[in-house]
Amino acid sequence: MFTLGVDIGGTFTDLVAVDPERGEVRTGKIPSVSDEPAGAILACLQDLGLEGEELERMIHGTTVATNALLERRGAVTALVTTRGFRDVVEIGRCRRLVEGGMFNIGFRRPPPLVPRNLREEVDERIRANGSVEASPRPEEFQSVAENLRREGVEAVAVCLLHSYENPEHEEALGRWLRDQLGPEVYISLSSSVNPQYREFERFSTTVVNAYVGPAVGRYLSKLRDGDIGKLEDRSIYIMGSAGGVMDIDTAEDFPVRTIFSGPAGGVTAGRYISGELGISNLITCDMGGTSADVALLLRDRILYAGETVISGVPVRAAQLEMKTVGAGAGSIVWVDVDGALCVGPRSAGSSPGPACYGFGGEEPTVTDANVVLNRIGDGALLGGKIRVDASSAREAMAPVRDRLAFRSSEELAEGALKILVARTVRLIREISLERGFDPREFAFVAFGGAGPMHAAAIADELDIETVVVPSHPGNFSAMGLVMAKMRRDATATYLERSSTIDSADLRGRLGEMAEGVVDRLLGDGVREESISLSCFLEMRCLGQAHEIPVPLGSSPSQVDLPAIEDAFRKIYAERYGRNPDPATEWEVISIRIIGEGEVQAYPPETWRAKRGGGEGPREVRNVWFDGEWRETCVYERNGVGPGAVVEGPAIIEESGATTVVPPEWRATVHASGHLLLRRRKDEQRRDSLPQ
């Protein structure tokens, strides 16, 4: 039986079907059809020669929530909040939260998701300690419900002050509204969506949940009813923003947790291969047509961000810590008014696309640069469909070349790639160095259509020793969906200082939460022996504004204060480069427990691509490297099996990606089938190290 990973992106739907028993992996790629996910999936299954009956589970990465938010196409959403605070969701903390406001007198903030006339206030008040100061009156419930019905709202976010401490009023309002407005109105409570303090972030997250809820709900029910083989609800899963999988009901209740569903697959796959390769620190880079997503895996752990801002709206839900830059294969090479050579962030996308596609694109792109350098061969078939025309690429380069007086198009092309690399490098520095991690201690995993092409150059700039180009780099994210574990989270605000904290109380609270997480995982059908828990405290020095997640290990019963303090100091020093002042008190802000487990085990052999071995180069052609043409061997990825060594300069081609091995580099094929690229000098150094 097959497990299916389906990654529906803006342009393409990627599929991976895996049968762990027979060790069979099939991959496919089709244009996305946004309205009919089930239809698209069925069509692709046909391509793969799979019958619906052969499917056992499906894990889906979706961008429905993301797109509804980015394109502001969500539901007509109302807010019910504490009297005096309806504008919190609009004012926030007076920040712009969108780039481009500094020195821009005409800057305008994106409109709020809930217009002011759909923000209802109720007379109620809960204090910071959870005590009730004023309860809402039933008449008020009535009038709120009437107003919302009259306005025809499709979704309601109920967000009251201090509800993280006492959800009583939110729950009462929620029950009333459900009853009055009926099941077709989607209702979210802030105490359920994000029970953490700081009202703006909680309210905003809850509003997003409500805003995207109906769209995600409609989509998921189409998926449910889509008759994809014999799949029942219980065997359809959705990838969450934090790289863990959730069941379809959870995704319906908490769609805000799927905002980063798309990119999460790649990072999860990265985590899997880190175990396979025995490399514990990885930087993953998914470079496609318009952008590059970068994330970090530290000692096998995915790094999580507590909060992100998406098009001006804060979302506080567990999610991968990830950065994106507008740099990819379609990025346009252009000249700014002051004569600066720039690459991206504007992209030619798939339409008109790079000039070399011959679809009418006139501006030169990164792909055109690669064609000019012959790293992509003239006449090559991209994705099996688009035939590359080198003369169009050269033609497109000419105006920029002449304007900046480059001696040749090759020099311009090579320069443009350097700038693309520099922009990506800046992003990687942001996600590593700015957090106190040295990229040299990481391996670099490159995938997506354009990742393997530029990976070695990026690694060179960062002094990274090892580049990994995984098997199936074009379908890597979909692979990650299949590999991902089920995940359940629990969070709670827990405000205590080092002088007042009581370890027995903390242990009790952790224990309770852990039990809840395990129960829910078992309910998801996870195998008990595969369950692992990670407990975190969000902590900071008294007086600091930012807390940091401090891992407490997996066993709540063993938590004690000295261990907490030690762990805090260690993480603090790692992040800030200095120890916290021993005289300063620390404080805990909140508790988080993450539980993960597998429904099905996949032995590593499952993924091993069946490759041929030891075939020689398919052709030898001139490729431009470092200012000159070099005779370069071009290989088929399928022709280089485990143990094979390919000396640079070389090009390794496969469907969906091209790997560039620069002159000073060497590629070896790992037993797992992944390509490892290293500089020859580093390899020699490695060899000469005492064993």
Partner 1 sequence: MSDNPTTQESASADAVTISVIQELLISVVREMRVTFSRSAFSSIINEGHDFSCALLSPEGDLVAQSEDHPGHIFPISYAARAVFERYAGDIHPGDVFLLNDPYICGTHMNDMAMFCPRFFEGRALAFPALRAHWGDVGGSVAGSLSGDASHIFMEGMIVPPIRLYSRGELNRECLEVILKNMRGREDRHGDLMAMLGTCQLAQRRLDEIEERYGRESLQAVNDSLLARAEKRMRAAISALPSGTFHYENYIDNSGTGAEPLRISLRLQIKEDQIHCDFSGTSGQVKGPTNAGPATVATSCFMVLKSLLDPALSVNAGCFRPLTMEAPEGSILNAGFPAPFSGASDVRRTIESCVLGAAVQAMPDLAAGDTKGAANHCYIAGSRPDSGEAFLYYEYPAGGTGALAGSDGDHAIRTYTEGDFNAVQPVESLEATLPLLVEESGLRAGSCGHGEWRGGLGMERRVRLEAGGAGLTVLTDRVIIPPYGVDGGTSGGGNRFTVLRQGSEVEPSDVPGKATAFPLTEGDAVVLRSAGGGGWGDPLARTPEAVLADVRLGYISLEDAREVYGVVVNGGAIDAAATSSARERLRKSRVYLIARLGGEDAYGGSRRLCPMSLGTAKEGGFSEGMLVEYVPARGAPLRAWVKITPGPATGETPLGPVAASILKLQDKERIWLRPIATPYSHPPLAS
The H-or-E segment that residue 242 falls in is none
* Contacting residue, 2, 141, 200, 586, with partner 1 by CB under 8 A: 200
Does residue number 689 form part of the binding site for partner 1 (CB under 8 A)?
A: no
CA atoms within 13 A on the CB side of 619: 10
Cα 691 to the center of its chain, rounded Å: 38
Between 85 and 476, CB nearer to partner 1? 85
CB of 146 to partner 1, least distance (A): 16
CB of 54 to partner 1, least distance (A): 49
Between 127 and 137, CB nearer to partner 1? 127
Does residue number 12 form part of the binding site for partner 1 (CB under 8 A)?
A: no
At 244 the three-state DSSP class reads coil
* Contacting residue, 356, 419, 513, 537, with partner 1 by CB under 8 A: 419
Helix 199-224 × helix 37-47 angle, to 10°: 60
Using alpha carbons only, what angle is made at residue 487 by residues 485 and 493, rounded to the nearest 5 degrees? 155
CA atoms within 13 A on the CB side of 427: 27
Does residue number 375 form part of the binding site for partner 1 (CB under 8 A)?
A: no
Between 198 and 618, CB nearer to partner 1? 198
Helix 390-403 × helix 409-431 angle, to 10°: 80
> CA-to-CA distance for 112 and 122, rounded, in angstroms?
20
Residues near partner 1 (CB under 8 A), total: 81
Assigned token pair, 554: 């997996």
* Contacting residue, 207, 256, 425, 667, with partner 1 by CB under 8 A: 425
Q: What are phi and psi of 14, to 5 degrees?
A: -100, 135
With contacts defined by CB under 8 A, name the span among 81-89, 137-145, 469-477, 603-611 that binds partner 1: 81-89
Amino acid present at 165: E
* Contacting residue, 418, 569, 618, 630, with partner 1 by CB under 8 A: 418
With contacts defined by CB under 8 A, name the span among 88-96, 226-234, 274-282, 649-657 that binds partner 1: 88-96
Sheet holding 628-636, edge to edge: 619-625, 628-636, 650-654, 657-661
The H-or-E segment that residue 666 falls in is strand 665-669
Does residue number 130 form part of the binding site for partner 1 (CB under 8 A)?
A: no
CB of 164 to partner 1, least distance (A): 8
CB of 608 to partner 1, least distance (A): 39
| C-alpha to C-alpha distances, 431 to 265, 427, 436, 532, nearest whole angstrom | 19, 6, 9, 27
Between 33 and 495, CB nearer to partner 1? 495
With contacts defined by CB under 8 A, name the span among 211-219, 510-518, 540-548, 599-607 that binds partner 1: 540-548
CB of 526 to partner 1, least distance (A): 35
35-70 core/surface letters (b: 16 or more CB in 10 A; e: else): eebbebbbebbeebebeeebbbbbbbbbbbbbbbbe
CB of 394 to partner 1, least distance (A): 7
* Contacting residue, 141, 406, 476, 625, with partner 1 by CB under 8 A: 406
What's the N-to-C CA distance of the chain in angstroms? 44
Q: What are phi and psi of 566, to 5 degrees?
A: -60, -45
With contacts defined by CB under 8 A, name the span among 80-88, 359-367, 442-450, 648-656 that binds partner 1: 80-88
| C-alpha to C-alpha distances, 402 to 97, 336, 399, 410, nearest whole angstrom | 40, 14, 5, 12
* Contacting residue, 73, 116, 218, 680, with partner 1 by CB under 8 A: 116
Amino acid present at 211: Y
* Contacting residue, 31, 49, 84, 612, with partner 1 by CB under 8 A: 84
Neighbours of 108 (CB within 10 A): 9
Does residue number 404 form part of the binding site for partner 1 (CB under 8 A)?
A: yes
Find the binding residues for partner 1 in span 570-589 (CB under 8 A).
575-578, 581, 583-584
Neighbours of 462 (CB within 10 A): 20
Between 264 and 343, CB nearer to partner 1? 343
Does residue number 379 form part of the binding site for partner 1 (CB under 8 A)?
A: no
* Contacting residue, 30, 33, 97, 644, with partner 1 by CB under 8 A: 97
Find the binding residues for partner 1 in span 260-289 (CB under 8 A).
none
Does residue number 340 form part of the binding site for partner 1 (CB under 8 A)?
A: yes
Helix 476-483 × helix 261-277 angle, to 10°: 80
Residues near 672 by beta carbon (within 8 Å), at least 6 away in sequence:
273, 276, 277, 471, 604, 607, 608, 642
Find the binding residues for partner 1 in span 226-265 (CB under 8 A).
none
Assigned token pair, 137: 């009156």
Find the binding residues for partner 1 in span 299-328 (CB under 8 A).
none
Between 254 and 406, CB nearer to partner 1? 406
Residue 649: cis peptide before it, omega within 30 degrees of 0: yes
* Contacting residue, 48, 422, 501, 609, with partner 1 by CB under 8 A: 422
Question: Which residues are registered as beta bridge partners of 125?
Answer: 134
Question: Which residues are registered as beta bridge partners of 491?
Answer: 592
Find the binding residues for partner 1 in span 382-401 (CB under 8 A).
394, 398, 401
Does residue number 109 form part of the binding site for partner 1 (CB under 8 A)?
A: yes
Find the binding residues for partner 1 in span 481-510 (CB under 8 A).
495
Between 286 and 414, CB nearer to partner 1? 414
Between 182 and 577, CB nearer to partner 1? 577
Cα 359 to the center of its chain, rounded Å: 31
With contacts defined by CB under 8 A, name the span among 111-119, 145-153, 208-216, 299-307 that binds partner 1: 111-119
Does residue number 117 form part of the binding site for partner 1 (CB under 8 A)?
A: yes
* Contacting residue, 342, 492, 522, 644, with partner 1 by CB under 8 A: 342
* Contacting residue, 29, 162, 472, 637, with partner 1 by CB under 8 A: 162
622, 631 contact by CB (below 8 A):
yes
CB of 439 to partner 1, least distance (A): 12
CB of 110 to partner 1, least distance (A): 10
* Contacting residue, 280, 308, 408, 668, with partner 1 by CB under 8 A: 408
* Contacting residue, 182, 183, 339, 690, with partner 1 by CB under 8 A: 339
Residue 345: cis peptide before it, omega within 30 degrees of 0: yes
Between 259 and 343, CB nearer to partner 1? 343
Contact mark string toward partner 1, 26..65, x via CB under 8 A: ----------------------------------------
The secondary structure of 586-646 as a DSSP string is EEEEEEEEEEEE-SS---GGGG----------SEEEEEEETTEEEEEEEEEGGG--TT-EE
CB of 416 to partner 1, least distance (A): 8
Does residue number 545 form part of the binding site for partner 1 (CB under 8 A)?
A: yes
Q: What are phi and psi of 19, to 5 degrees?
A: -115, 100
Find the binding residues for partner 1 in span 623-652 (CB under 8 A).
629
CB of 364 to partner 1, least distance (A): 13
At 83 the three-state DSSP class reads coil
